Amino acid sequence: MKKNVYGILLGAIIGIVACLWAVEEAKDAEGNFTKFDNHVFATMHDWFLSPQAVTDHGQNVDRMIWITHVLMAILFVGWGAYFIICLIKFRKSVHPRADYSGVTDKTWSTVAEYGVIVVEIILLFSFSVPLWTSWQDGMQVARIKDKGIEVHVLAKQYDWNARYAGADGEFAPQFIEKADKAINPFGLDPEDSTIDDVIVLGANNKERSIVVPWGEQVVVKVTSMDVIHSFKVLPLRALTDAIPGLQLPVYFRINEKLLPKDEKGNPKEAVYLITCAQLCGEGHGFMSGYLKVVSPEKYRAWITEQSAAALAKRSKAKLAAK
């Protein structure tokens, strides 16, 4: 009994020390986990064929993936070696008769087992949970709503649609009875001529891309009009389900330093593919859209122009109806 207790304690201590050492080794002088970034980038780019992350949290996602795979590789080699040793050491020619009492000293196997458990617990609570809250925290969503940019994304078979608050900064009320899948998926009042919300319908064309600025906090609230979809933009490392009746947020800040550069070294505009990561019907494979990243100045000019155009169009339609 005492040996088991000692083995558990020793395994826990070794696991904690190993994790603390790995964490400290991964930090740079400013406390950020950047020391292994060359290995992380090579793994993601060369092995997983993944585009470079362009968001702040996206780099942490890649680091988490790398750390997890390194740990799994160590476990694979360790347990594989243990399995082979057991096959050789306890083969029939060496032990022709079964030993029903088994191994009496289990200290080192206990150390290994509990050491792995401790490492995985630290990996979960020191890395995974903080990383998840860095782009799924409800309080952060509320802060971004006040100081950042909020975009409502609506998925439906088989395209992506977006809504912005417009120049007045306020989203117009929605009415489910007025919603129409083809021309009014957001359910805005067609007779209200004061609405200046900017609507992007069918963002499966680069000319109708969902537009966001770099360098600013953006929260995207995603829902669905029919079945469950999943909003995924791989370079942003952003993914969340689109579920009817729910509005699920995902937020990010695109780091202009990570974007492609022009010949002068300035960040260039980029267009990224939006895919559906949830099987949603026979047209699932064709459900793609585009998200365009622009400068904050160009984004505000675009919002102002589109908002004024939406307001003028509604006012004109109201006059024509009289």
CB 244 within 8 A of CB 225: yes
What pLDDT shows up at residue 25? Answer: 67
The pLDDT score that the predictor gives to residue 132 is 72
CB-CB contact of 199 with 162 (8 Å): yes
Query: Domain locations in the chain?
Result: 2-93+105-136, 148-321
**All residues at 6 or more sequence positions from 63 whose CB lies less than 8 Å from its CB, including other chains:** 26, 33, 36, 37, 40
CA distance 202 to 183: 10
CA distance linking residue 214 with residue 294, whole number of Å = 6
> What pLDDT score was predicted for residue 40?
85
3-state helix, strand, coil in the chain (%, to 5): 45, 20, 30
pLDDT in tens for each of the 322 residues of the chain?
A: 555 666 667 766 776 676 667 666 666 665 566 777 788 888 888 888 899 999 988 888 888 888 888 888 988 998 899 899 888 888 888 878 877 776 666 667 777 777 777 777 777 776 777 767 666 666 666 676 667 799 999 999 999 999 999 988 899 999 999 999 989 999 999 888 889 999 999 999 899 999 999 999 999 999 999 999 999 999 999 999 999 999 998 889 999 999 989 888 899 999 999 999 999 999 999 999 999 999 999 999 999 999 999 999 888 766 555 5
Token pair, residue 116, equals: 């792995």
Cα Rg of the chain (Å, integer) = 27
DSSP 274-300: EEE-S--STTGGG-EEEEEEE-HHHHH
What per-residue confidence (pLDDT) applies to 321? 54
pLDDT of residue 28: 65
CATH class of segment(s) 148-321: mainly beta
42 vs 52: CA distance, rounded Å: 10
pLDDT of residue 135: 61
